[in-house]
Amino acid sequence: MKRLAVYCGSATPADARYIELAREVGRTLAERGIGVVYGGGRLGLMGAVADSALEAGGEVIGVIPEALVGSEVAHTGCTSLEVVPGMHERKKAFTDLSAGFVTIPGGVGTMDELWEAVSWAQLGYHNSPVGLLNAFGFYDGLLEFNAKMIEVGFIRPAHQGIIVARETIAELLQAMADYEPHTPIFAMKADDL
């Protein structure tokens, strides 16, 4: 995996463990020679991932919408900062530039990015692993919800393993490296759906 998109919050939670986790993710990716593609911000977990990857000598590509550059939240110290017209172009760039996706704790924007990566994987727009770092049990509820969607039948058997969840970044990267692509909807016949 040459590069991974990292989805995370731009907020700084009161619990310092989240910032330290973001730093560990950035540092670990850089130490393993994996480039970071992320939202291009300098604040919160985003900034912590970028700064720690850069400090460890890693490549960091920020992809940020024009409107956020104007708000002075852009990280101008990235290896490369791509300014795009809007959020749709930003998410497409994440997919085009990355060999997979790592979601660490975040809020609404992070959830939007995660679910789009999962949806695009189901459909067949990409066949990259979609990793979920469930540190501190942050995503326990989301994983329970995903299990409920599987149980009810809203997620097909072929797509039940798209989300690769682990509790540490080392375990997650190994599981993502071992990921075997599934059969996407675009490759299925109507009878299989």
> 71 falls in which pLDDT band (50, 70, 90)?
confident
pTM score? 0.94
116 neighbors 122 (Cβ within 8 angstroms): no
Of 185 and 51, the structure prediction assigns the larger pLDDT to: 51
pLDDT of residue 192: 74
**189 pLDDT above the threshold of 90:** no
Over residues 122-162, the pLDDT tens digits come to: 999 999 999 999 999 999 999 999 999 999 999 999 999 99
> Do residues 118 and 162 lie in contact, with contact meaning Cβ atoms separated by under 8 Å?
yes
Share of the chain above pLDDT 90, in %: 89
The amino acid occupying position 119 is: S
N- to C-terminal Cα separation, the chain: 31
User: Could you tell me the domains of the chain?
Assistant: 3-180 (3.40.50.450)
pLDDT single digits (tens) 5-51: 999 999 999 999 999 999 999 999 999 999 999 999 999 999 999 99
The CA distance from 53 to 47, in Å, is 10
The pLDDT of 64-81, averaged and rounded, is: 89
Q: What is the mean pLDDT of residues 93-108?
A: 97
Q: Which two tokens stand for residue 170?
A: 């080392």
pLDDT of residue 140: 98
User: How high is the pLDDT of residue 90?
Assistant: 94
Q: Measured on CA atoms in the order 8, 9, 10, 16, is the torsion positive or negative?
A: negative
